[in-house]
Amino acid sequence: MSVKSALSNEFIVDDISNGLEPSPVCLVYNDDKELEELRVHQKPSHGNEIVTNEESSSYYDGCDCADNCISEDCGCKSTHGYFYTSQHSNQRGLNLNFPVSTSIFECNLSCTCTTTVCPNRIVQHGINIPLQVFKTRDGRGWGLRTLQKIYKGMFVCEYAGEIIKTEEAKRRWEEMNNNAIARNYVLCLKEHNIDPIHIGNAGRYINHSCAPNLQIYLVRINSLIPVAAFFAVRDIEIGEELTFDYSGADDHCGQSGAMIDGIEDKKGMKKCLCGSEICKGMLPFDQSL
Ligand SMILES: C[S@@+](CC[C@H](N)C(=O)[O-])C[C@H]1O[C@@H](n2cnc3c(N)ncnc32)[C@H](O)[C@@H]1O
């Protein structure tokens, strides 16, 4: 349900995730035409983005910690790495003091620890920060901003969508280029591609910036297919737009994720409107497609 703001001409929808996330994702818009563009079947950030949402077992071995993984002896952490630390106000986040050269492994369904207490579980709990989808005024379409200060290392949301093969990604990209709006949503990872055009979460509204505040890391939980998770690479102020680099540059996850953006009117690359001082001028484009 949407309500008209008392302070402006905008309408507000409280939660476009329909309660699928622990924290609501609200939307501000100006008219019904804008709203119509946004009709996407929502996926929870903490569900995996493959055919089934719920896993009943894990592909990975688990730990048998009796202390809910507080100690460094946790089997998951000692096997795969110590990725998360306590950060601002004791919140858990990614330790960005060390480069992450592999996927991040969280505790999973094979572990004996308690899901709600274990400190090695962050991404699987979903969006915990109030986010807002809004219409940019500079031609970049919709964007996503934060309604709470985000500290460096904090998890923001997943890039959730349909998992598609490269052939299908190519087909959809061709189709997208014949479309009047021509916005691309396919994220290419080494192992698979994610397309949130029909089914997705808030991650699909994150625009590109040549000086981004988020970075994608691959996180393995229960499924063989890793989750593409956004973590803050610097502190982000209330109301600031969330962005990532579509080229996958500076990706510490060892398996870079790139968007297959590009070709405007089939003549050239798409102009980048990020407005940063180090803007490269054009949106990144995955040449392999
Ligand atoms: C994943 S979508 C992001 C959400 C999109 N803005 C929307 O309205 O749904 C990617 C598309 O957003 C637009 N976009 C994102 N970042 C941009 C930028 N820096 N400059 C110009 N267009 C951008 C492009 O149309 C791109 O194909």
Please report which helix (H) or strand (E) contains residue 76, including its range.
helix 75-80
Q: Is residue 57 included in any domain, yes or no?
A: yes
Residue having the nearest C-alpha atom to atom 24 of ligand 1? 183
Confidence at 178, pLDDT banded by 50, 70, 90: confident
List the structure tokens of 263. Answer: 């070709």
Kindly state the DSSP code that residue 65 receives in the 8-state scheme.
-
pLDDT > 70: what percent of the chain? Answer: 82
pLDDT at 270 over 90: no
Confidence at 113, pLDDT banded by 50, 70, 90: very high
pLDDT at 82 over 60: yes
Q: Is residue 265 included in any domain, yes or no?
A: no
Ligand 1 pocket mutation pick from 38, 134, 175, 183 by most atoms within 8 angstroms of CB: 183
- CA 252 / ligand 1 centre spacing (Å): 23
| Nearest CA-CA partner of 199 in 19, 43, 17 | 43
- CA 89 vs CA 84, 99, 244: distances in Å: 14, 23, 25
SS3 per residue for 135-184: ECCCCCCEEEEECCCECCCCEEEECCCEEECHHHHHHHHHHHHCCCCCCC
Which residue bears the tokens 């004791």?
A: 90
Count of domains for the chain: 1
Q: Is residue 66 included in any domain, yes or no?
A: yes
Domain CATH number, residue 81: 2.170.270.10
What residues make up the domain containing 242?
Answer: 48-129+149-259
- CA 182 / ligand 1 centre spacing (Å): 9
Q: Is residue 286 included in any domain, yes or no?
A: no
Confidence at 149, pLDDT banded by 50, 70, 90: very high
Amino acid letter, residue 103:
S
> Model confidence over 6-39: pLDDT tens digits?
657 788 889 988 888 889 999 999 888 787 777 6
What is the sign of the dihedral through the CA atoms of 221, 208, 280 and 234?
negative
- CA 136 / ligand 1 centre spacing (Å): 10
- CA 72 / ligand 1 centre spacing (Å): 42
Q: Is residue 205 included in any domain, yes or no?
A: yes
Q: How many helices (H) and strands (E) does the chain have?
A: 3, 19
pLDDT value of residue 156:
97
- CA 279 / ligand 1 centre spacing (Å): 15
- Segment 139-162 shows an average pLDDT of 94
Q: Is residue 216 included in any domain, yes or no?
A: yes
- CA 203 / ligand 1 centre spacing (Å): 12
pLDDT > 90: what percent of the chain? Answer: 48
- Segment 44-57 shows an average pLDDT of 54
Ligand 1 environment, Cβ below 6 A: 140-142, 183-185, 204-205, 207-208, 261, 272-274, 283
Residue having the nearest C-alpha atom to atom 1 of ligand 1? 185
pTM of the model: 0.90
Confidence at 97, pLDDT banded by 50, 70, 90: confident
Confidence at 114, pLDDT banded by 50, 70, 90: very high
Q: Is residue 21 included in any domain, yes or no?
A: no
Confidence at 190, pLDDT banded by 50, 70, 90: confident
Q: Is residue 121 included in any domain, yes or no?
A: yes
pLDDT value of residue 287:
61
pLDDT at 212 over 90: yes
